[in-house]
Structures are given as C-alpha cells and as structure tokens.
Homo-oligomer: A and B are copies of this chain.
Amino acid sequence: MQPNESPTYISRYRLKARKFLNAVSARTSFDGVLIRIDDGYGCIHTWPELGDPPLEKCLADLAGARRWPIVRRAIRCAEYDRAARQFEHSLFEEMEVPQSHATLVGMNAAELGRAMEAGFSTVKLKAGRDPQAEMKFLDEMSGEFPLLRWRLDFNESLTPDAAADFITGLADKTRAAMDFVEDPCPYSDSSWRALHQKACVPLAVDREASTQSSAAQVMVIKPAIDEPFLLAEAAIARRQKVVLTSYMDHPVGQTFAAWEAARLGLQFPGLPGLCGLQTHHLFEPDAFTEYLGPWSPEFTVPAGHGLGFDDLLDALPWTRLH
C-alpha cells in the first residue's frame, strides 16, 4: 500500500443506541468516521471494548503508516467504492446479498416477537451477562417460538466449564434449536474441541477467527476488519460454515459488509450461510438508515453509485486529514 498519495478526508459521526448494547458495552453512543479518498467512501468504527484501537489512534494511523487492519479495510472499501462511482455503477449490480439473522441485544420477548413478525427465522442474542437468567429466557422463548433458531454470542465471557454447563443445562428443545454458539469462551484448540464433544452444538469463532482456528465449526468474518477471501479459504480447507457480519457500524460500513458477503458468494457459491448484515435497527434512525429500509432478513441495497448514499455523502461536512 502506498499511503497518502491522495488527500484523505474524514467526516465524524455518532450513532446512538436505541437500547443498551449491553453485553458489549456500557456506552450508549458510538463515534466513528467516514473516510473519503478520491471520491470513494469507507468507514472506520472501533470497538475498544472488544480490543480495537481507539478512534483517534486509528485516525493517526490513517494519516500515517496505515498499518492496522481496521484502517486498511476502510481504505480498501473506499477503493472499491470509488471504482464503481467512477463508472456510475452500483457496486451491487448482479450481486445477491445473503439473508440475515436478527441481532438482539437483550432478553426481550416483545422484540423477539417483532423479529418473527419481520420474517426472521434465526435470532442472534448477545449473552453472557447473566447466564442463569439467559438460560431461563431461552427455554421459555424456545417454547413460545418453536420455529425460531438461535445463535448465542458470549463474546468470550464464560470459562470452558461454564460454557459447557450453560449449553448442556438448556432444555433439549432449546439445544436442538441452537444454530451455533459463538465465542463461548476464549478460543483454544483443546478447550473448544472438548466443549464441542460435550455439548454437541456447533461452535462459531469470531474474535479469534484466523487461518488457525480449526476447532470451530463456523467462522465469523467481519469485512470491517477482516480480508474475507483469506479467512474464507481457511474455512473451506476445514469445511467450516461461514457467516459474514457487519460491525454494528455506520450504514456505509454495514453496506460494505453486505457487498463483501455477496462477493464471497460469487467467488465461493454456497459458502456464505445466513449472515448478520442487519444491524441498523440497533441505532436511532437517520437519513442513512432510511436507505437501508425496514428491519428484515433481506438486505435493502441503498440506491446510488458505489455503495450508494450519494446525496447524503455529498452533503456531509468533510475535513481534510492532516
């Protein structure tokens, strides 16, 4: 990469959570930046709670060495976006975006009901804050919504033993409805292998997703920070299922994740399973989220060139990065 050839512009944004994103963060507002390089756009959205460098450090990296994956991926996004805008094409032409699960951040029966009504077949629930209450909630909800399939994301908050207790302690029906359990505990080959044998439920690796995480049955790829192609090749080599997710970031970043998911499906037909690309409903609506349509398993491709949002991006205040 040859940094800083073209001037780089940024536009700061702040997302406000509609609910506490409570398994992840105690914050309720989330700052990030959109970047613009040669009329191509990208998004840098950091989650320091999950190990990302803070935003200001990312901006320093963007202005300088451009070493961090999260920064390089935003630049890569801007390159793709620019190429399509140049030719006045949408990046999504002839692309098919995979469907998504519903991302819920709390134990809320009403929200589950809304997810079913919106047509979601699978729900991803952030878990690990209060395992006893969550087990009870899951068993109850699995009774109430027998068609629903579950994905639980613990963000590595349990020990291997507590994870095994959690999964084997669920009612048989709930366990049968479990699509996968994500990051139940910190990844290690041996502890995950033992957990899988004991719990007999697919395990998904997210935080430590790498070409080495061979004890997982599912790999979570986040285009905001991962190069999908490289991880996908590793996943294929060990027959892992693949799920692409947005980064609970700005609609521009979310749309980039959706496009990468569609592109991976072209490169490797059938590889991307049900994804996690619908997260804009977690935040208060604005003009950008409007373009992404209602909460639905189907991704709404925003109108416009490149990744879309043409007029909105045009109207933002842009500052040249020093």
Contacts and interface: CB of A to CB of B under 8 A. Distances in A.
Secondary structure at chain A's binding surface: helix, strand, loop or mixed?
loop
Given A176-B238, A239-B176, A239-B177, A270 B147 contact: yes
Contacts of A172: 238
Given A122-B270, A176-B217, A269-B119, A239 B146 contact: yes
Contact of A146 (B120, B122, B236): B236
Contact of A200 (B147, B197, B269): B197
A142 interface: yes
A221 to B, nearest CB: 15
Indicate how many identical chains form the complex.
Answer: 2
Contact of A173 (B174, B239, B271): B239
Given A196-B200, A238-B176, A239-B173, A270 B146 contact: no
Nearest to A175: B239
B269 A176 contact: no
A18 to B, nearest CB: 25
A240 interface: yes
Contacts of A240: 176
Nearest to A150: B239
24 contacts: A119-B269, A120-B270, A121-B269, A121-B270, A122-B270, A142-B239, A146-B236, A146-B237, A146-B239, A147-B236, A147-B269, A147-B271, A149-B270, A172-B238, A173-B238, A173-B239, A176-B217, A176-B238, A176-B239, A176-B240, A177-B239, A196-B200, A197-B200, A200-B200
Interface of A: 119-122, 142, 146-147, 149, 172-174, 176-177, 196-197, 200, 217, 236-240, 268-271
Given A147-B268, A176-B239, 7 more contacts: A120-B270, A122-B270, A146-B237, A146-B239, A147-B236, A173-B238, A176-B240
